[in-house]
Amino acid sequence: MELITMTLIRRLVDKGVESRIIPALMRDTINAISNHDQAQNAKELTRRIQFLGWHDFELDEYTFQLIIANLETNAFDMSGNVV
């Protein structure tokens, strides 16, 4: 597993996300990003994720950047599974 992926997973767990639901969160996050053409930022992505039912989750800038870096390295496939 790549360092970016391990760091992201550790960060999400530290933010209170159970490791078993990280794939679902990543799937919804990927969908929230790919369904909108406008520039992304942590605040807007948090709003979209919360709209999808992740009401208690709030992205900080560091976690947002890890997610973007992770997507750029294709560490998660479109179903949210680690590849």
Task: Check residue 78 and give its pLDDT.
Answer: 44
Specify the pTM.
0.77
- 20 vs 59: CA distance, rounded Å: 18
pLDDT of residue 60: 92
Beta strands of the chain (E only): which ranges? none
pLDDT of residue 40: 73
Q: What is the pLDDT along the chain (83 residues), one digit of tens a residue?
A: 689 999 999 999 999 999 999 999 999 988 888 776 655 788 989 999 999 999 989 999 999 999 888 888 865 554 455 55
How many Cα neighbours within 13 Å face the side chain of 5? 17
- Give the pLDDT confidence score for residue 66 in this predicted structure: 92
Q: Which residues contact 53 (CB under 8 A, 6 or more apart)?
A: 28
